[in-house]
A and B are shown apart, each in its own frame.
Chain A
Amino acid sequence: MNIKYRLSFRVLLTALFMVGAVGPVMAKVYIDIEAPGFQQFPIAVCDFQIKGTQSIRSSDSGITIADNIRNYLGLSGIFNLLDKKSFLDGLEPGVPETIRFSDWSVIGADFLLRGDMTVKGKDATVESRLYDITRGQTLFSKQYAGTTDDLQALARNITADILLALTGDEGDFNTKIAFVIKKNTGSDIYTMNYDASDIKNLTNHHSIVLAPRWSPDGQYFAFTSYKNGRPEVFLRHLKTGKEKRVSSFRGLNLCGSFSPDSKKLLLTLSKDNNEEIYVLDIDTLALNRLTNSFSIDVSPAWSPCGKKIAFVSNRSGSPQIFIMDADGNNVKRITYEGNYNTSPSWSPRGGRIAYEGLINHKYQIFSIDEEGNNLIQLTFDNANNEYPSWSPSGRQIVFHSSLGSKSRINIMNANGMNARVLKEYRDQLVMPAWSPRLKE
């Protein structure tokens, strides 16, 4: 209750700040971490204590799980993690826990996470407690069951609860990022965890592969591949690994995006002699054409509510972002700045669309609302920043960044702050696509 009070006070402050800065659109009813005035939460995370008689290795587990939580909190981009060397309030083994709140506030912590762990064989039971230091209160105390084999999964669940308690949303911890590694010998799609661990190849086509797309229910993955010598769209069931060719018309078959219910897939086809946007029913493979223009229409992205589709068209002379109803009606151009705006990606929270645009001879990431107002430039560096894709929480954006021979997948907060390198590689790392929350 109190935390909400406090947060809403912050929101009020943020909202007041925002009205003057960018306009009222950005003001939200919960804490708006996208606002430029947002301060990171200072948090102290203690190593977890091991209960009962334990081997040396399990005491390492208490450190490992805390390290994992610190890592995930850092990745969320909204926490300032305090150095554990600065902690004054040590725990004496065997003494019941009391929190000396003043010892934590003096080192600047607003929040404190403590936990303990019981290990029996491979089973690990963890109890973790989150405290609000300024108010001197416990925000949650919760038990988790897992295994010592996968402390990362336990850490992800705890971190998700911390985010849920502080921001009303569990964050992006159980997500993956798909991307294309482009080599001279051919491209393939890979996936990695949100912390860049567990890199796996999803395709083995060694061909031109592009436009990787997750279905919102996490069941399917769609992409375009030239493995048969020409562009065709493939649909892969992620659990079984079964791959099916779903679009192989003459000319271009380019993968677009899934509908929010994961039952339909948008495509760009040139079978009618011109690049147009179509919607494909995944079960029946029934096809319906949505656009009618003599120009290029490409890169369709479905809005999270399902009512609208953003896409790229050069019907006004240069590539720009347009929006239409899901049935193809009411086409409206929303970008007017610059003469090259492509790669639209719709925020899962709705309202805003991220895209790449050419400015001062560099590609940079922008976001704009669906009415075409409140344009914000998010990246400003010397690199070419392309292919934005939102996280499921709508708080972060993953994108490709290339500077000279360096090719990277980067993540930033949705307001452009706290950009960081997720993965760097000697080959081209392109077209990152953020997964929905994946149930384990």
Chain B
Amino acid sequence: MKKHLTRIGLLMVFAFSLTLFSGCAEKQAVVKDEAVQEQKAVAAQAASTTTVDDEAARKAKEAAEREAAEREAAKREAALKAEADRVRAEKNAAALADLNIQNIYFDYDKSSIRPDAREILKANAELFSKKSATIVVEGHCDERGTAEYNMALGERRAQAAKEYLVNLGLNASRIETISYGEERPLDPGHDEKAWAQNRRVQFLLK
């Protein structure tokens, strides 16, 4: 029975990494398309503001080209970074799926650990105690409200989860916190269902 479960688990990890691969390919295509549109927008901007003089128009064009080149370079760098992030995330996802680590969720504008989250944290703590890797606790918020306040709220949620894990016996020096505020939603929707999914703490091992 246990063997059977592990096999299913492995299959799921495999399927998940496949979706990651295809998801990324799509994203890169979008990035390229956006870059082209952006250059057009920059050129249009330059054209609309510099009808005064040919000289100014030429300068603006040069600046736009330079800017576009810089942007391309940055995009390439970002793509490399994204690739590295993806590899890391994939490893993490595999490790977490293997371990069955679950997210915990929060009420609106709150950072207190809900009763349903306590059971999950206990189960997670047990799984973490079998590993030696550093635990990264990520705090997230829904899209409502101010980005800065949500950054603080996300950090508060991560801290609350960390404290809970420490109280369950995990070593504090093993646990890092990071807040992503409202910047990394799980569900891109704009309703209560999406928001409830996004007010969360996620765990990573590194």
Contacts and interface: CB of A to CB of B under 8 A. Distances in A.
Interface of A: 61, 64, 148-149, 151, 183-186, 197-201, 204, 206, 208, 210-211, 224, 230-231, 250-252, 254, 268, 270, 273-275, 296-299, 312, 314, 318-319, 340, 342-343, 356, 358, 363, 386-387, 430-431
B27 A185 contact: yes
A206 B151 contact: no
A356 B146 contact: yes
B148 interface: yes
Contacts of A185: 27, 30-31, 34, 78
Contacts of B71: 201, 204
A356 B147 CA distance: 12
Contacts of B30: 184-185
Nearest to B188: A184
Contacts of B205: none
B148 A299 contact: yes
Contacts of A297: 152
B177 interface: yes
Interface in B17-59: 27, 30-31, 34, 42, 45, 49, 52-53, 55-56
14 contacts: A148-B53, A149-B52, A185-B31, A185-B34, A206-B75, A210-B148, A251-B155, A254-B151, A270-B159, A274-B159, A275-B155, A297-B152, A312-B149, A386-B146
A254 B109 contact: no
Interface in B155-206: 155-156, 159, 176-181, 183
Nearest to A425: B41
Contact of B148 (A61, A200, A298): A298
Given A250-B176, A319-B146, 9 more contacts: A64-B52, A199-B45, A210-B148, A210-B151, A298-B148, A312-B148, A319-B149, A363-B145, A430-B147
- Interface range, B side: 35 or more
Contact of B149 (A151, A197, A342): A342
B153 to A, nearest CB: 6
Nearest to B55: A149
Interface of B: 27, 30-31, 34, 42, 45, 49, 52-53, 55-56, 67, 70-71, 74-75, 77-78, 81, 109, 145-149, 151-153, 155-156, 159, 176-181, 183
A275 B156 contact: yes
Contacts of B177: 251, 270
A149 B183 CA distance: 42
Contacts of A151: 52
Nearest to B139: A252
Contacts of A197: 45, 49
Contacts of B179: 231, 251-252
A340 B52 contact: no
Nearest to B59: A149
Contacts of A254: 148, 151-152
Contacts of A201: 67, 71
